[in-house]
Structure 1
Amino acid sequence: MLDLNIPGCKNLKVEKIVFDLNGTLACDGKLIAGVKESINRLSEEFEIYILTADTLGNAESLLRDLKAEVVIIEGNDGSKFKADFVEKLGRKRVIAVGNGNNDAQMLKNAELGIAIIGPEGTARAALLGAELISREINDVFDLIFNPDRIKATLRK
């Protein structure tokens, strides 16, 4: 759990982290270096969820060694599915991380939405929906492992 008072902003009490898969944790169907180790380390303190439409059909094999719940997006509206998923988890207890157009509302709904630039770039809507923007996924892991960095960035 992350319990962090951010002066002039909010008091985070987060227990769950939701990640988009493609463009966030993976690029071109392969996990980005460092993702497996960091997800498994985070799973010691948080419930971890990875959302994917499984466009490439390899999510199960790609994520089998991760201590996370893999959630396959149902239906044709991934944006709504992701946003609703965060709401169902209890948005005030969730960090959401993504980069795509279909992540924008999920990022906005979460208590802390983090957009990453990453190798695939970032949709403008995701940037506007996020509270914090990071260069790439390993920087996001570092923020969570060193929460004073979050405080330094978001304090008023």
Structure 2
Amino acid sequence: MLDIPKYKRITARNVVLDLNGTLAVDGYVDREVLNLLKELSKSYRIVVLTADTFGNAKKIFEGLDNVTLEVIRDSEEKTKVAKRYTPYIGIGNGNNDIGVFKNAELSIAIIGKEGCSAKLLLSADVIVCDIVDAINLLLKEKRLIATLRG
């Protein structure tokens, strides 16, 4: 649980992430990101939602405990699947993450190499430059408190 003064209390133990554009660039997840996910999975269940555009999602997460991979067809299904993990923290970059953000206790938008949907930015609690920064907000919670406290 995380109390952010004059903002809200976050009770989520699940982190729901998009794969392509958020965790991965062109179907590849950097080793540093995988190591950070491993560290994050000690405190949260990691849920990765993907259409598996590159067909390699299962292989990417082999050997990572506490990571659940869900293959989805579209944004409607993505929103529905994310709700199963409520309460959760949502991390994404695209239009298909808007529904995920609407139901999240905390939403973090990534402006990475693939960019970020302007509509998603408007629905985010926090906006960061890349996935490393997003994960570190959760690993080093004082950063999140400093950003969001009232």
TM range (shorter): over 0.9
8 A Cα contact 1:104 1:127, kept in partner: no
CA displacement, residues 86-136 of structure 1 (integer Å, 9 cap, x when unaligned): 22222xx21010001101121121000100001110011211121111110
- Name the residue aligned to 2:100: 106
Separation of aligned partners in 2, 1:31 and 1:140 = 15
* 2:20 corresponds to which of 19, 22, 45: 22
- Name the residue aligned to 2:68: 69
What is the letter of the counterpart of residue 61 of structure 2?
Answer: L
Separation of aligned partners in 2, 1:63 and 1:129 = 28
- Name the residue aligned to 1:129: 123
- Name the residue aligned to 2:110: 116
- Name the residue aligned to 2:55: 57
* 2:43 corresponds to which of 38, 42, 45: 45
- Name the residue aligned to 1:95: 89
CA offset at residue 32 of structure 1?
2.8
Q: In the alignment, does 2:78 pair up with 1:82?
A: yes
Separation of aligned partners in 1, 2:82 and 2:59 = 25
Please report the RMSD computed on the Cα atoms of aligned residues, expressed in angstroms: 1.2
Percentage of pairs with the same residue: 41
**Alignment length, in residue pairs?**
149
CA displacement, residues 16-57 of structure 1 (integer Å, 9 cap, x when unaligned): 001100001100111034111011111111111111001111
Task: Choose between structure 1 and 2 for higher RCO, CA contacts under 8 A separated by at least 6 residues.
Answer: 2
Q: Calculate the TM-score normalised by the size of structure 1.
A: 0.90
- Name the residue aligned to 1:140: 134
CA offset at residue 12 of structure 1?
0.9
Separation of aligned partners in 1, 2:145 and 2:13 = 17
What is the letter of the counterpart of residue 113 of structure 2?
Answer: P
What is the letter of the counterpart of residue 125 of structure 1?
Answer: K
Q: Calculate the TM-score normalised by the size of structure 2.
A: 0.93
8 A Cα contact 1:27 1:119, kept in partner: yes
